[in-house]
């Protein structure tokens, strides 16, 4: 019997991806169905439902699920879930789709899934704003004192995405027909939950931590991983390989940076690098919960949560993504509750007086002795062609990242915020 944490939802890995003759038959049927163009976000959500990453979800959420998730972190049946997984269509398309009918879900000419529509529900402007306030409004300075709606419509990628959604959501189970480009473009990196679980089992791991990455891996990330390696059997460095906002560094560059670090600074048997196919939602605390939820499906029972996890701008408090784990509902039913727990790590940095990596819990020196580390700060320095201070990143990684930036033909302005600059320390 496996010693790994059970998949979320108590039903094992729930995989909607078809294979073999069943896949070919469904593809043939999809050609005759009404085709709905979906967003990149929905494409990533579908792939995760296909491979079991979103267990126990079998499709896009009903209105009751959507409302319960936004309001109480629970679907209609009481199962924990932190962010809505919904599919939006135009009112005109919705009018042509009867409840109980089947449709094909298409992205840029490729059919990703078929769907049996169980429900249609309108999303008014007020509904979208309510979802944004529940999911994206935090405790940072850009969310409080009435500032959220002054700033978020222009500066928060998640809010912009939700407010741009079409006016009707469709709910219902899906049959997934494709994993998109990921198996071909990221061989050995794009791994399914079944594959990571098998790798953990093979290595004899039972207590597994995961590091979420959307930025190149700098010294603080390395330090977090090594803390986890000391107290767990191993660490999954799990990179987002879906879409990011403009100015973020693309996945192949980030994956190569991780490879460089593992090759030179880790015991390879204690770490696995992998990628997952979602788009970033920038939901801060809620997204931290989502990361823990689907990491549980990958076999992870400890989610590393540091400063400003999954944040953007100054919408969230520095450690709000840690605190939210203490406020989520529990039912006492392991099948419905979140089992992956947070590993809460304080603000980390390089300290010249300590002569090494440290945190606010271990270092008593003044701010001037510390090198404040953040992905945003690193990206801004690289984008501006500025000098990278000593101990910010490993030399081999900085050389690799500089080569990427020198090859860019168009510069994207990187906005600094308090959480990244160290001003809030």
Residues with a catalytic annotation lie at 214-215
Phi/psi for 120 (5° steps) reads -125, 135
Non-local (6+) Cβ contacts of 308 within 8 A are 284, 316, 318, 321, 374, 419, 420
Contact between 237 and 217 (Cβ < 8 Å): yes
In angstroms, rounded to a whole number, what is the distance separating the alpha carbons of residues 205 and 97?
Answer: 47
What is the CA angle 89-94-97, rounded to 5? 125
CA distances from 346 to 71, 209, 224, 257, 301 (A): 29, 16, 10, 24, 19
Q: How many helices (H) and strands (E) does the chain have?
A: 16, 15
In angstroms, rounded to a whole number, what is the distance separating the alpha carbons of residues 190 and 185?
Answer: 9
In angstroms, rounded to a whole number, what is the distance separating the alpha carbons of residues 289 and 291?
Answer: 5
Which residue from 268, 275, 225, 272 is spatially nearest to 252, judged by alpha carbons? 275
Contact between 209 and 342 (Cβ < 8 Å): no
First to last CA, the chain: 46
Helix (H) or strand (E) holding 381: helix 375-384
Non-local (6+) Cβ contacts of 124 within 8 A are 167
What is the token pair recorded at 276?
Answer: 């997952």
SS3 183: helix
Contact between 51 and 179 (Cβ < 8 Å): yes
> What residues pair up with 237 in beta bridges, in sequence order?
211, 273
- Per DSSP bridges, beta strands 234-240 and 208-213 are parallel
């Amino acid at each position: 019997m496996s010693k790994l944490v059970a998949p979320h939802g108590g039903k094992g890995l729930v995989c909607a991806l078809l294979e073999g003759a069943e896949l070919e038959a469904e593809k043939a049927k999809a050609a005759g169905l009404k085709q709905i163009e979906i967003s990149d976000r929905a494409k990533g959500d579908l792939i995760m439902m296909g491979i079991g990453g979103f267990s126990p979800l079998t499709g896009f959420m009903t209105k009751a699920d959507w409302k319960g998730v936004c309001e109480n972190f629970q679907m209609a049946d009481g199962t924990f879930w932190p962010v809505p997984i919904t599919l939006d269509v135009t009112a005109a398309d919705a009018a042509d789709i009867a409840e109980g009918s089947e449709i094909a879900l298409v992205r840029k000419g490729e059919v990703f899934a078929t769907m049996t529509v169980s429900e249609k529900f309108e999303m008014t402007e007020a509904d979208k704003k309510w979802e944004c306030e529940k999911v994206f409004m935090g405790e940072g300075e850009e969310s409080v004192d009435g500032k959220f709606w002054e700033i978020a419509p222009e500066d928060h990628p998640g809010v912009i995405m939700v407010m741009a959604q079409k006016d009707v959501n469709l709910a219902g189970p899906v049959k997934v027909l494709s994993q998109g480009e990921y198996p071909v473009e990221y061989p050995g990196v794009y791994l399914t939950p079944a594959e990571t679980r098998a790798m953990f089992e093979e290595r004899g791991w039972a207590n597994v931590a995961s590091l979420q990455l959307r930025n190149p891996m700098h010294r603080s990330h390395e330090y977090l991983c090594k803390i986890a390696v000391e107290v767990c059997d191993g660490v999954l460095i799990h990179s987002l390989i879906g879409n990011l906002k403009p100015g973020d560094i693309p996945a192949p560059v980030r994956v190569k940076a991780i490879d460089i670090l593992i090759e030179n600074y880790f015991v390879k048997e204690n770490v696995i690098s992998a990628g997952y196919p979602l788009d970033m939602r920038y939901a801060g605390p809620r997204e931290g919960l989502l990361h823990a939820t689907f990491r549980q499906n990958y076999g992870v029972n400890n989610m590393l949560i540091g400063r400003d996890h999954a944040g953007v701008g100054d919408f969230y408090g520095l450690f709000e993504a840690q605190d939210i784990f203490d406020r989520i509902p529990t039912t006492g039913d392991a099948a419905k509750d979140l089992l992956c727990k947070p590993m809460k790590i304080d603000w980390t940095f390089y300290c010249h007086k300590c002569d090494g990596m440290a945190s606010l819990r271990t270092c008593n020196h003044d701010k001037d002795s510390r090198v404040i580390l953040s992905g945003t700060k690193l990206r801004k320095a690289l984008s501006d062609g500025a000098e990278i201070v000593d101990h910010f990143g490993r030399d081999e990684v900085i050389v690799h990242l500089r080569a990427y930036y020198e090859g860019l033909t168009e510069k994207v302005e990187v906005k600094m915020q308090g959480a990244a600059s160290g001003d809030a320390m």
